[in-house]
A and B are shown apart, each in its own frame.
Chain A
Amino acid sequence: MIPDRRVIWLLAALAWLLVLLFLYLNWQDKAGMHEQRQNVALDTAYRAAVNSFDLAAQAYFREAVHRAEVLDLLRAGQQAEGEAEQARLRGRLYRTLWPTYDRLRDGELRQLHFHTAEGTSFLRFFSPEYHGDDLRATRPLIREVHRTRKPAAGFETGRSLSGFRYVYPLHDGDEFVGSVEFSIPFRHVREMMNELDDTRQFQLILRRDAVEDKVPPGFLSLYETSRLHKDYVLEDTSLVFPDSPRPPSEEIRAINQRLAADPRTAEAIEAGAQGALSVGLDGETWVVNLLPVTDPAGERVAYVLAYAPDPLTGVFRREFAAAAMGATLLIGLALLLLLRLITSRERLRNQRAYQQAVTNTMAEGLYAQDEAGRITFINPAASEILGYRPEDLLGKDAHTQFHRHAGNQYPDERDCPIRQRVTTGRVFEGEETFRHQDGRLIPVEVSSRPLYQEGVRTGAVTLFRDISEHKRARERQKLAASVFTSANEAIIITDPQSRILMVNEAFTRLTGYTPEEAEGHNPSILGSGRQEPAFYRRMWQDLRENDYWHGEMWNRRKNGELYLQLGTISAVRDEHGELLHYVGLFSDITERREYQEKLEFLAHYDPLTELPNRVLLLDRLRQAMQLATREGRRVCVAYLDLDDFKDINEQWGHATGDRMLLELARRLEAGRREGDTVARLAGDEFVLVLVNLESDEQCRAMIDELLQTLHRPIPIDGQHLSCNASIGVTTYPQTDALEDGEQLLRQADQALYQAKLQGKNRPYFFDAAGDRRLRDRHETLERLKLALEREEFVLFYQPKVNLRTREVIGAEALIRWQHPERGLLPPGAFLDDLLEQPLEANLSRWVMERALAQVSAWRAGGIHLPVSVNVPAQHLQEPDFAEQMAGLLARFPHLPANSLELEILESSALASLAHVSRVIERCAALGVQFSLDDFGTGYSSLAYLKRIPVQIVKIDRSFVGDMLEDPDDLALLEGIIQLAQVFQRQIIAEGMETPEQGERLRELGCEVVQGYGIARPMPAEEIPGWLHRWQNA
């Protein structure tokens, strides 16, 4: 197991760090010890100096101060009565100790100060003008001595200079009489320290706030801010006071400048602990030791700084650097060696892994055998091909396990052809069959070789690969080749430069070129010259953009014959999209195209005359109409039919008839102008479309000329045959809009029909106005038919009464049309359109049925009122009219006879008098009476009246209306009434509008009337009300 290179680097780095850490700690340890020694030296020097002054102070105290005389003066001075006495005693004390003080000043003790037992200042030798101030409040040291009554010493900042104070209690016996204080300025401490240790320079820095608390404002300017820390100051660097310590030398100032730039300096000073700072100056290392100085209250008020060159620190650093460098080199060397070792082992391992990967990556199966045939190694491909896990095969005999030989034989191991070869030191190569773990047989290609190690054969190595897919591919290739060869379509395969690589047999059949003649050439050898260059550009564009082209192309065979081919060309690319080939498949569609063209011809042309047929005619006609509309010209359509052509066919045979038709077609075609069309629609029917006409007269002239052309005899087989033609003509544009050419053709056909009706052999021009009327009537009939279906007709009833008896003898049903848009229409608005139309009879039947239904309804309401209806001639003359009536009455069996009366016109009856007479008789048998309506307006012949067996005669309203004013009408009316009475017919006068008319009619013998004078026609539902009013009038 080779450790990871990163781990090695990590361990080396760790070791290097540990060694460096050890060296560093060792360095720091030595440096710390060195610093500690220096700190101890500083502390020792400081304490020794301070203590030496303490000893001096003690000596002065014992020898000069602690004397009875002094104690007496101090006690007496405190106890004196009166200021003068006290002043005198104080003065004496001053005078007594002045020599001592003067000597003391020659030494280093600068200040001598007596304090009273109460802690006030008694006498300051150094400033005798001041006294009496309370010192306990401002001087912790004095407060401490007076509290403990024991000597004490300490550093204090003073009003002008700072220094060490030594305070001794003064006892006179057991009596505490006060205290005395000696002071030395720091200058002397420093000088003493220099005497003790002349290798260093000393400096004092004072805490600014401690100074500012005590120094008078005027003195603050004497203090200079320390460069080492803004909160610390140096005393009187201008040496205003004689006892001021010497200011820092330039060297020390330079060191301080360096230290000030180092943040550790401020940190060390603020930490308040003893320490050391190192700094380089002019290539030399200096150490600055810091000794904190506290006041008697324990508060740090100053630092004593010791400056000294420090060669040892540099030595330690160099030692550390050298050791670190050596350690780094050693570790680096070890690391290098280790890495080389690892690299070497990795290379070996990678080599093995590479070899393993090669065998693992091989697509071929590989296994090795020992001399006994047992498998000693097998690669993953072999396992996968055979379907075994490696561990299932290792140690097994390959022949036994999966060898199958030709024909799925499993020969004895000794007969294994592979083994036979390799055990004799030879190579086996060939196709064999192996057995898959699931029993499947796998065709394999095997190469087996003996394995030699150091010259000794130790087994064999066999390489095999599954060739199943290869075999299938070979089969597919064969099949493809067969398809290529036997395909009916011509196939061309070219290279990307369009050089023909292969063609099949169908190609040779199609083009006449053998493969040898075609291969190596460009397919342009087939070019016909009929295709435009643009055609080929589009073809190549399709191929470039879509890798595919499909279409038709005219080519030329080797023998020069043109042919049309339908085909596709496909670009064949490899998996990277690189163009490999073009493959073209083509088939000859020349015949198919010709057949198609023939079919297309037959679709638009008459096969006999090769004139346009109806389809093409309509298309040309449509175009001609558009052109005429656009250019303001006229088009003439002439529908031509040969008169009695059937006779020619029957007499001379169809062949002769066809020859006539061909000749006529030729003549028509010969007379055709540019743009005109001559078409044959069927049999002997031709249509001419004459375009670009200026007027209908021009059209007429051309038609006349046409008739003459057709009439000329046609020589056939020695006979001169001739025929006439009828021509229906119509023109375009017309007043009314036309739907299309078909309608124009229909107009010509209608005109042709009229020409035939008028005697043939003539033209007839289409009557557009008549046609429009016909269309209108047709539309009206259609509307009426719809109205009947929708039940839009209604019946109004006009009563008929006997003027003498006031009896209502019946009512006439009168039809109205409740038009949804035009309102209620009277019969005159629509009945004329129904004349002689089948719908007229239908409407008549509807009226009868509805009238009977109404009679039935009234009857159910207690009203018996017969109804008369008008029967049109068309209906009346239907042969089964009587049966219809029988059937109708049968649907109302409960109605009594004479419930229905039919009114007919004289003209209706006379049109088919016999039939009508039979109908009247048969209806009379059914209980249906007939009346003759509008009598007096027709023939009104006595003979007819006698022959028409009607029961009732209705005198036309025209006689009644004018009878009072017109004597002729009155005379006629009298004659009619008398005639009816002669023939014993009942009489009803229509149109009675005034009572005078009624009265006159009664005088004439006509008692039964109807008209506005009695009642206007009314809806059925109003009849009961009218009856009630009539009968009660």
Chain B
Amino acid sequence: MLNARLFRIPLLVCGLLPGLAFAETLRFAPLPMQEPETVMRETQPMLEYLSQELEVDFEIRYATDYDDILERFRNGTVDLAYLGPLPYVLLRDRCPSATPVVAFREPGGEARYTCSVVMFADKLRPLDDLTDQPVALTQPLSTCGYLATARLLRDGGTRLAATDYRYFGHHDDVALAVVRGEAVAGGVKTHIARKYAHLGLDTVAESEPLPGFALVANRQTVSDARLQELRQALVHLRPEESEEDAARMAEWGESLRHGAQAVDDEDYAPIRRLRGEVTIPELVIPDLTVPAP
């Protein structure tokens, strides 16, 4: 059983006037793989924006792993979640009410991203020379974790299962573990890899574009109208085209500040294909027919 820990941060946005509370509150679950400090710093501005636009309050329900998010989605205690593609697909499989609202654009403007295999610049080695070598992975449910890394290593000539792979949790942890030399290679989102490029972290393999991280709504608790409002509020921001939008989103997290694109479930077909090709050994799918302890 995963060691779930939920932080409830009742704050967030009350429009422009402190103390003003709206009638509706949306419970938001950020990415579980990031440091709470980072989560707060990166998601808070976006939620403030949405609060003003939709005139709703937001409450952050921080989770340390995906299982907890899935569980809460299922029992209706989370309204929105910021999820990677694989967690979404898994959630959708088990919770059909999960509906992608938007997918966030990458710095290049595409609502897609890639996963990379990284190595420290001083210790580069071929991909097929990784057998029994320590390889750092994020989490089993992370798209760029086992799923994408296994595919890239296989393309490079090594089976991931033959390496000494370990899960480090966050993408940053994977990247820094590689820099520190705790692993000779690691699988991370490409833009995370680039974030640590100034520490000598090099990308040695990159996956095909995958659908981006999504804002997922729980249709059990979020109305269609509200869903559309959320989508509209995010999609109409064009930071690449509008200086005003860019200024508005300057404080947003790196993965959020480049805008968003409307998506639907069909857009996540590549993930479903990868899942068909790669089996993640550590992925234990909870039996959702049994009540959670």
Q: Which residues of chain A have C-beta atoms less than 8 A from B195's C-beta?
A: 129
Question: In the complex, A352→B180 CA distance in Å?
Answer: 112
Q: Is the CB of A90 within 8 A of B199?
A: yes
The residue among A128, A131, A238 with the most chain B CB atoms within 10 A of its own CB is A128
Q: Is the CB of A91 within 8 A of B201?
A: yes
Q: Which residues of chain A have C-beta atoms less than 8 A from B176's C-beta?
A: 94, 128
Q: Is the CB of B7 within 8 A of A87?
A: no
Q: Is the CB of B7 within 8 A of A240?
A: yes
Q: Is the CB of B121 within 8 A of A241?
A: no
Q: Which residues of chain A have C-beta atoms less than 8 A from B180's C-beta?
A: 94-95, 98
- Checking A84, A129, A241 against B172 with a beta-carbon cut-off of 8 angstroms, the contacting residue is A129
Q: Is the CB of A88 within 8 A of B40?
A: no
Q: Which residues of chain B have C-beta atoms less than 8 A from A219's C-beta?
A: 40-41, 44
Question: In the complex, A156→B206 CA distance in Å?
Answer: 42
Q: Closest Cβ of chain A: how far from B42's Cβ, in Å?
A: 8
Q: Which residues of chain B have C-beta atoms less than 8 A from A98's C-beta?
A: 180
Q: Is the CB of A94 within 8 A of B179?
A: yes
- Checking A88, A95, A131, A240 against B36 with a beta-carbon cut-off of 8 angstroms, the contacting residue is A240
- On whether A83 and B198 interact (CB within 8 A), knowing A95-B180, A95-B181, A216-B251, the answer reads yes
Instruction: Convert A527-542 into 0s and 1s, putting 1 for each residue whose CB lies closer than 8 angstroms to a CB of B.
Output: 0000000000000000
Q: Which residues of chain A have C-beta atoms less than 8 A from B45's C-beta?
A: 217-218
Q: Closest Cβ of chain B: how far from A102's Cβ, in Å?
A: 9
Q: Closest Cβ of chain A: how far from B195's Cβ, in Å?
A: 5
**Which positions 85-126 of chain A face chain B at CB distance < 8 Å?**
86-92, 94-95, 98, 123
Q: Is the CB of B200 within 8 A of A129?
A: no
Question: In the complex, A216→B252 CA distance in Å?
Answer: 11
**Which positions 498-533 of chain A face chain B at CB distance < 8 Å?**
none
Residue A160 lies at the interface, judged by CB distance under 8 Å to chain B: yes
Closest-by-CB residue of A relative to B47 is A218
Question: In the complex, A88→B37 CA distance in Å?
Answer: 27
Q: Is the CB of A91 within 8 A of B37?
A: no
- Checking A91, A221, A238, A241 against B122 with a beta-carbon cut-off of 8 angstroms, the contacting residue is A91
Q: Closest Cβ of chain A: how far from B21's Cβ, in Å?
A: 14
Q: Closest Cβ of chain B: how far from A311's Cβ, in Å?
A: 40
Q: Is the CB of A87 within 8 A of B197?
A: yes
Q: Is the CB of B36 within 8 A of A241?
A: yes
Q: Is the CB of B172 within 8 A of A95?
A: no
Q: Which residues of chain B have C-beta atoms less than 8 A from A217's C-beta?
A: 44-45, 48, 251
Q: Which residues of chain B have C-beta atoms less than 8 A from A240's C-beta?
A: 7, 9, 36-37, 40
Q: Is the CB of B251 within 8 A of A160?
A: no
Q: Closest Cβ of chain B: how far from A690's Cβ, in Å?
A: 125
Question: In the complex, A328→B41 CA distance in Å?
Answer: 66
Q: Is the CB of A91 within 8 A of B200?
A: yes
**Which positions 459-492 of chain A face chain B at CB distance < 8 Å?**
none
- On whether A95 and B40 interact (CB within 8 A), knowing A87-B199, A90-B200, A221-B12, the answer reads no
Question: In the complex, A84→B121 CA distance in Å?
Answer: 8
Question: In the complex, A24→B199 CA distance in Å?
Answer: 67
The residue among B12, B40, B200 with the most chain A CB atoms within 10 A of its own CB is B200
Q: Is the CB of B121 within 8 A of A91?
A: yes
Q: Which residues of chain A have C-beta atoms less than 8 A from B37's C-beta?
A: 160, 240-241
Residue B120 lies at the interface, judged by CB distance under 8 Å to chain A: yes
Q: Which residues of chain A have C-beta atoms less than 8 A from B9's C-beta?
A: 221, 238, 240
Instruction: Convert A194-226 into 0s and 1s, putting 1 for each residue whose CB lies closer than 8 angstroms to a CB of B.
Output: 000000000000000000000011110110000
Overall SS of chain B's interface: helix
Instruction: Convert A768-794 into 0s and 1s, putting 1 for each residue whose CB lies closer than 8 angstroms to a CB of B.
Output: 000000000000000000000000000
Closest-by-CB residue of B relative to A218 is B44
Q: Which residues of chain B have C-beta atoms less than 8 A from A218's C-beta?
A: 40-41, 43-45, 48, 251
Question: In the complex, A777→B11 CA distance in Å?
Answer: 139
Closest-by-CB residue of A relative to B172 is A129
Q: Is the CB of B120 within 8 A of A95?
A: yes
**Which positions 230-259 of chain B face chain A at CB distance < 8 Å?**
251
Q: Which residues of chain A have C-beta atoms less than 8 A from B198's C-beta?
A: 83, 86-87, 90, 131-132
Question: In the complex, A212→B126 CA distance in Å?
Answer: 49
- Checking A94, A95, A129, A221 against B11 with a beta-carbon cut-off of 8 angstroms, the contacting residue is A221
**Which positions 960-996 of chain A face chain B at CB distance < 8 Å?**
none
**Which positions 178-208 of chain B face chain A at CB distance < 8 Å?**
179-181, 195-201
Q: Is the CB of B40 within 8 A of A128?
A: no
Question: In the complex, A129→B172 CA distance in Å?
Answer: 9
Q: Is the CB of B199 within 8 A of A91?
A: yes
Q: Closest Cβ of chain B: how far from A89's Cβ, in Å?
A: 8
Question: In the complex, A160→B41 CA distance in Å?
Answer: 10
Closest-by-CB residue of A relative to B178 is A91
**Which positions 55-90 of chain A face chain B at CB distance < 8 Å?**
83-84, 86-90
Closest-by-CB residue of B relative to A160 is B37
Question: In the complex, A89→B199 CA distance in Å?
Answer: 8
- On whether A216 and B41 interact (CB within 8 A), knowing A91-B200, A128-B176, the answer reads yes
The residue among B36, B37, B179 with the most chain A CB atoms within 10 A of its own CB is B37
Q: Is the CB of B181 within 8 A of A87?
A: no
Closest-by-CB residue of B relative to A240 is B36
Question: In the complex, A241→B200 CA distance in Å?
Answer: 29
Question: In the complex, A585→B43 CA distance in Å?
Answer: 128
**Which positions 156-178 of chain B face chain A at CB distance < 8 Å?**
172, 176
Closest-by-CB residue of A relative to B195 is A129
Q: Is the CB of B122 within 8 A of A92?
A: yes
Question: In the complex, A933→B147 CA distance in Å?
Answer: 189
Q: Which residues of chain B have C-beta atoms less than 8 A from A216's C-beta?
A: 41, 251
Instruction: Convert A828-859 into 0s and 1s, putting 1 for each residue whose CB lies closer than 8 angstroms to a CB of B.
Output: 00000000000000000000000000000000
- On whether A88 and B41 interact (CB within 8 A), knowing A94-B179, A128-B199, A216-B251, the answer reads no
Q: Which residues of chain B have C-beta atoms less than 8 A from A129's C-beta?
A: 172, 195-196
Q: Closest Cβ of chain A: how far from B89's Cβ, in Å?
A: 28
- On whether A87 and B172 interact (CB within 8 A), knowing A216-B41, A240-B40, the answer reads no
Q: Which residues of chain B have C-beta atoms less than 8 A from A87's C-beta?
A: 121, 197-201
Q: Closest Cβ of chain B: how far from A123's Cβ, in Å?
A: 8
Q: Which residues of chain B have C-beta atoms less than 8 A from A160's C-beta?
A: 37
Question: In the complex, A324→B43 CA distance in Å?
Answer: 64
Q: Closest Cβ of chain A: how far from B183's Cβ, in Å?
A: 12
Closest-by-CB residue of B relative to A131 is B198
Q: Which residues of chain B have C-beta atoms less than 8 A from A89's C-beta?
A: 200
Question: In the complex, A217→B42 CA distance in Å?
Answer: 11
Q: Is the CB of B251 within 8 A of A88?
A: no
Closest-by-CB residue of B relative to A216 is B41
Q: Which residues of chain A have C-beta atoms less than 8 A from B201's C-beta?
A: 87, 91
Question: In the complex, A94→B44 CA distance in Å?
Answer: 30
Q: Closest Cβ of chain A: how far from B116's Cβ, in Å?
A: 16
Q: Which residues of chain B have C-beta atoms less than 8 A from A91's C-beta?
A: 120-122, 179, 199-201
Q: Which residues of chain A have C-beta atoms less than 8 A from B200's C-beta?
A: 84, 87-92
Question: In the complex, A241→B36 CA distance in Å?
Answer: 7
Closest-by-CB residue of B relative to A98 is B180
- On whether A88 and B44 interact (CB within 8 A), knowing A83-B198, A95-B180, A98-B180, the answer reads no
Q: Which residues of chain B have C-beta atoms less than 8 A from A95's C-beta?
A: 120, 179-181
Question: In the complex, A88→B198 CA distance in Å?
Answer: 7
**Which positions 437-479 of chain A face chain B at CB distance < 8 Å?**
none
Question: In the complex, A131→B199 CA distance in Å?
Answer: 10
Question: In the complex, A86→B195 CA distance in Å?
Answer: 15
Question: In the complex, A222→B181 CA distance in Å?
Answer: 35
Question: In the complex, A87→B41 CA distance in Å?
Answer: 26
Beyond the given pairs A92-B200, A95-B120, A217-B48, 16 more chain A to chain B contacts, judged by CB atoms under 8 angstroms and listed by A's residue number, are A87-B197, A88-B121, A90-B200, A91-B121, A91-B200, A91-B201, A94-B176, A94-B199, A95-B180, A128-B176, A128-B179, A128-B196, A160-B37, A218-B40, A218-B45, A218-B48
**Cβ contacts A to B, 15 pairs, < 8 Å:** A90-B198, A91-B200, A92-B122, A92-B200, A95-B120, A123-B199, A132-B198, A216-B251, A218-B41, A218-B44, A218-B48, A222-B40, A240-B36, A240-B37, A240-B40
Q: Pick the 3 closest A-B CB pairs, nearest first.
A: A91-B200, A218-B44, A221-B11
- Residues of A whose CB lies within 8 Å of any CB of B are 83-84, 86-92, 94-95, 98, 123, 128-129, 131-132, 160, 216-219, 221-222, 238, 240-241
